[in-house]
Structure 1
Amino acid sequence: MTLISPACRDALQLWLERLGGLEDASANTLTAYRSDVSAFLAFMTAHSGGPQGLGALARITTADMRAWMASERGSGTGARSLARKLSAVKTFYRWLAEREGFEPAAVLSARAPKFQRKLPRPLAPDAAKAVLETVELQSQTGWVAARDAAVVTLLYGCGLRISEALGLTGADAPLPPVLRILGKGRKERVVPVLPAARDAVDRYLSLCPHPQEAGAPLFRGVRGGALNPRQIQGVMARTRAQLGLPATATPHALRHSFATHLLEAGGDLRAIQELLGHASLSTTQAYTAVDTTHLMEVYMRAHPKA
């Protein structure tokens, strides 16, 4: 940040505060945006040969953008990471251009490098079932084992993110047939809760030694505090090692498995988008590629002329 002019630094800080306050961006998002945009501004300062005010930012050219992107690639930044950085810069510039009254065409017209999106790596249905049956065996403490099983069942049975499952409170218990989940960007969605998931949570609650209070976390750590996501990541690591599953069998893979298995069973893509809380259908459409890949593998194994 030392290479950035005070005016640019203040503008960046104001933008981040707006994202955090009005748009409720997460702390991780704000940290990433700060890093990406400040590095971009520092490059432009060095590229021009000295500190720049906001007026200089309005005069950035297509050649300047190409120089920045070439510098990033030359320093080892991959296509996916560069696309993320460019997205952050464009978001900042849209706000800055509207605030300062200039046309940000050179920045907004910059094209992100093409890259192959990584497809989700779901578990096979029998592997997902094996995880649900095995995760409880990873602890000799009865209530902890029941807790881990309840969390994992929610991830696979409801398609929750781990942060969403661990964000449930005592006020959510006993779980209703339908949960209202506040996901990324504070976007609310309605998620049906399978009887198996409700039963798993009820069993955990019946064994948990810590009192359940409306404002307290539903899932507790051993000492009674909020359960750390690393605990669930650890129990999944032990489970996959016991079952011989690949390293991609993570807690988040259970969410992918939820979506993929619904799609394979004939689920509607728009409905799955709503259940997952994806802002864009294009994000959910990645699962159609997974399903197609699976179908082709079956075809190549089974077709007599394959």
Structure 2
Amino acid sequence: MSKHPIDSMISSFIETLASEKGYSVNTCRAYANDLYEFSSYAAEKSGQDSDEESEISTFMVEDANYLLIRAYLGFLHKKNKKKSIIRKLSALRSFFKHLVRRNIISDNPLELISTPKQDKNIPAYLTVDEMFRLLDSIKTDTVSGLRNRAIFETMYSSGIRVSELAGLNVSSVDFGAGLIKVFGKGGKERIVPIGSKAMDTIKSYRQKIQGDNILSDKNSPLFLNKNKGRLTTRSIARVLEKFVSEFCISVPVSPHALRHSFATHMLDAGADLRVVQELLGHKSLSTTQRYTHVGIDRLMETYDKAHPRK
């Protein structure tokens, strides 16, 4: 029986993720990077040199075994953080499961490999007071200022990812109902409510650049850069960095910290965990549960201070 070069199998797998699973370009690229890293390691470890001109690995997927995977994990532990190792291992699991399903290999070499436990990191977030100070510090006497205020009001009000915000069009906003339609990971669509302050700021921004007809040109980006094009996630992060540098905040602030703040403040105020999961677009409830640790820490601190017989 003929064997299959690992690089051609990786290429086929990535095509499957894009065409059948609907994975985003960024996700497919991340999978490819992790898998080709393993391909290079496997070829070197097995003493099979890559083609010097094409740099294609000559390693065959049928030659992958438990001992090779264990050695690769040891190699990763020398230069990667646990989170990266877990991600790379997840990519390998998906890849070899795909090969088994397609009857390309009969045994999965990762069958007996356990996944390292993820560290329980509490996400960085702003207090309510810090969040309000940040938003109120953004001046709205210019078009760019009004746009920036609308951007961060929207992020905090809805909890959407910065990539989701950058992808919003005018047609994504239902001004009457106070809802926005976003496309999350894997192109999954969800409807998210936003508060009146955020909606009013969006309206003011759109009126400033379009006049009273804020619904015209529905397919154009909701938030525009100076060239009337779509803002990038990096440019949004740079704008936020500028505001943060102007006054002291107790935690590192990134666009994702605004999302963490939204989740934390919602749960602290008594919101149902599954509702917050739906709003954030989390596939797994365990991802959302990270935010409950913040509330529990605060609860224990209050208990220790107040209970007479602790």
1:54 & 1:235 partners in 2: Cα distance? 46
Number of the residue aligned with 1:119: 122
Q: What SS is found at the alignment partner of 2:102? A: helix
Q: Deviations over 1:201-230 (max 9, x none)?
A: 001111126995121101101121112323
Give unmatched runs, 5+ long, in structure 2: 49-57
1:275 & 1:200 partners in 2: Cα distance? 21
**In 2, are the aligned partners of 1:157 and 1:193 still within 8 Å (CA)?**
yes
| Equivalent residues in 2 for 1:175-254, closer than 5 Å | 175=175, 176-208=177-209, 212-246=216-250, 248-254=252-258
Number of the residue aligned with 1:151: 151
1:15 to 9, 13, 16: 13
**In 2, are the aligned partners of 1:132 and 1:149 still within 8 Å (CA)?**
yes
The 1:303/1:135 distance shift into structure 2, 3 A limit, reads farther
2:107 & 2:248 partners in 1: Cα distance? 52
- TM-score w.r.t. the length of structure 2 is 0.87
Bigger drift between 43-52 and 294-303 goes to 294-303
Which residue identity lines up with residue 10 of structure 1 in the other structure?
S
1:88 & 1:229 partners in 2: Cα distance? 25
Number of the residue aligned with 2:25: 27
Q: CA deviation at 1:303?
A: 5.7
Which residue identity lines up with residue 21 of structure 2 in the other structure?
E
1:54 & 1:65 partners in 2: Cα distance? 12
Q: CA deviation at 1:180?
A: 2.5
2:152 & 2:299 partners in 1: Cα distance? 27
Which residue identity lines up with residue 22 of structure 2 in the other structure?
D
Number of the residue aligned with 2:81: 78
1:67 to 64, 68, 71: 71
Number of the residue aligned with 2:35: 37
The 1:261/1:65 distance shift into structure 2, 3 A limit, reads same
The 1:305/1:112 distance shift into structure 2, 3 A limit, reads same
Q: CA deviation at 1:168?
A: 1.3
Number of the residue aligned with 1:56: 63
1:238 & 1:299 partners in 2: Cα distance? 38
2:270 & 2:185 partners in 1: Cα distance? 26
Q: CA deviation at 1:17?
A: 1.0
1:10 & 1:105 partners in 2: Cα distance? 18
2:243 & 2:309 partners in 1: Cα distance? 39
The 1:229/1:41 distance shift into structure 2, 3 A limit, reads closer
Bigger drift between 231-240 and 15-24 goes to 231-240
Q: What SS is found at the alignment partner of 1:242? A: coil
Q: CA deviation at 1:301?
A: 5.3
The 1:156/1:296 distance shift into structure 2, 3 A limit, reads same
- TM-score w.r.t. the length of structure 1 is 0.88
Question: Counting helix residues as a fraction of each chain, which structure ranks higher?
Answer: 1
Bigger drift between 223-232 and 169-178 goes to 169-178
The 1:94/1:132 distance shift into structure 2, 3 A limit, reads same
2:97 & 2:28 partners in 1: Cα distance? 16
Q: What SS is found at the alignment partner of 1:108? A: coil
Q: CA deviation at 1:174?
A: 5.7
Q: CA deviation at 1:68?
A: 1.1
Q: Kindly report structure 1 stretches of 4+ aligned residues shifted beyond 6 Å.
A: none
**In 2, are the aligned partners of 1:159 and 1:255 still within 8 Å (CA)?**
yes
Number of the residue aligned with 1:96: 99
**In 2, are the aligned partners of 1:94 and 1:104 still within 8 Å (CA)?**
no
1:136 to 130, 134, 139: 139
